[in-house]
Each structure stands twice: as C-alpha cells, then as structure tokens.
Amino acid sequence: MYRVKEAFYTLQGEGAQAGRAAVFCRFSKCNLWTGREKDRAGAVCDFCDTDFVGTDGQNGGRFESAAALAAHVRNLWPDKQGTPYVVCTGGEPLLQLDKPLIDALHTAGFEIGVETNGTLAAPDGIDWLCVSPKADAEVVITECDELKLVYPQPLAPPERFLGIRARHYFLSPMASPSAQGADPIKQSNTRKATDYCLAHPQWRLTLQMHKILGID
C-alpha cells in the first residue's frame, strides 16, 4: 500500500533540474516530524512548510500496488509529450518508495527524481537523487546527484556535508511562511546564502522559483 498526499503536474522549481516539467508525487508521512503543529516544537525538523499528512490532497490517495500508482502518475503526464519525469517527494519519500515502484515507474516510461532528507537508504534505480539534510539528523546517503541545503540551519552548517559526494551543491535560503511571495532579494536569508556562496564557490544559490512565480 502506497499513501500519497497529492500528485500534480508542474515545473521543478529548484536545483539543477529547475524549469523542467515533472509530475510531483508527494508521499504521506515523514520520519523527522509528524506534520502536526502541536508536535513541531519537539520535532527534529521544525521549519517544514509542507502539508504531507493524510491522502486527501489533489490526486492523492491510497494505492494497493506499484502498478496502480505508476498508472496514476502516468495519467498526469501530457500524452506523448517529452520524456516523462516524476519527482518523488514528501514528507519523506524513502519511507515508501521501493524497488517495485521504481520498476513500475520505469516501465511507464518515467525518469525518476527523488527529494529526500537523506536519513534513509535509497533503493537502486533512482535517476536523479537530491539530498536535503535537516538539522542534526544523521545523513546515511553518501553519494547523490545534488545536495540541497536549506540555509541557514544552526545545526546543519554547509561544511558538515562536503563529505557527501554530489555533482552539485546548492544552498536554498530558508523562507518563513510569512515571507512567501516576498521579494527574495530582500529576504535576509537570501542575502546570507548569497554571501556564503560568494565566499565558498563550490556552493550555488538556488531559489524556489515556483514560489516566486506563484505556481504549484
């Protein structure tokens, strides 16, 4: 049984794949927070702005088999247009994403991207792996395509993650909920991330394009 909060067709807004059309498949649940406000203060990850509780979002639901979920995702891709790309996100997708689902998505023609907090081992077959470490949670993934660190996090300084082999190292300025839609250049966290990248050029700045543009 796979539990999906929501699934929708949009543009990837961040990182090296920014601007690429993708079906986002948001899995329910995370291992670093329950998703309930009453638990936020005691959570390992306490700045999450994503609703991943339940299965009641757009195109969400419970899927009895990998084939059923892959068919659902395929139905959200425009017919015969380009290379199908799915981004498995959450919540924490590696709580549910397994080899049968990877095989079913590949059979449906998809390249598979995954956005994970890196605390769980990843199954083989993922085409694009993005690790986004959170607070002092131990990262067990040692190699990925891109490391995307929300910045600043007092317990997660960038230098802690340079031992993880990645093709790209990105800093993503932390946004407060009240800052959504605000001019990103004027946000102090964007300034701090910019300054860090200027001083440490192996890191690149990435902004949440989908929020700036106001698209899902």
Residue 153 is a binding residue for ligand SF4 (CB under 6 A): no
Alpha carbons 87 and 128: distance in angstroms, whole number: 9
Return the axis-axis angle of helices 66-75 and 99-107, rounded to nearest 10°.
40
- Give CA 164 to chain center in angstroms: 17
Q: Does the annotation mark 49 as catalytic?
A: yes
C-alpha distances in Å from residue 26, one per residue of 14, 116, 200, 206:
16, 11, 32, 21
Q: Extract the tokens encoding 29.
A: 């649940």
Q: Does the annotation mark 170 as catalytic?
A: no
Residue 118 is a binding residue for ligand SF4 (CB under 6 A): no
Stretch that binds ligand SF4, among 47-55, 140-148, 192-200, 202-210 (CB under 6 A): 47-55
Which residue of 18, 48, 205, 212 would you call a contact of ligand SF4, by CB under 6 A? 48
Residue 95 is a binding residue for ligand SF4 (CB under 6 A): no
**Contact status, residue 201 vs residue 167, Cβ threshold 8 Å:** no
**Contact status, residue 117 vs residue 133, Cβ threshold 8 Å:** yes
Residue 101 is a binding residue for ligand SF4 (CB under 6 A): no
Nearest approach in angstroms of CB 45 to ligand SF4 is 3
- Looking at beta carbons only, is 14 or 92 nearer to ligand SF4? 92
State the catalytic residues. 24, 30, 45, 48-50, 115, 210
Query: Under the rule (CB under 6 A), what is the footprint of ligand SF4?
Result: 30, 32-33, 45, 48, 50, 52, 90-92, 117, 134
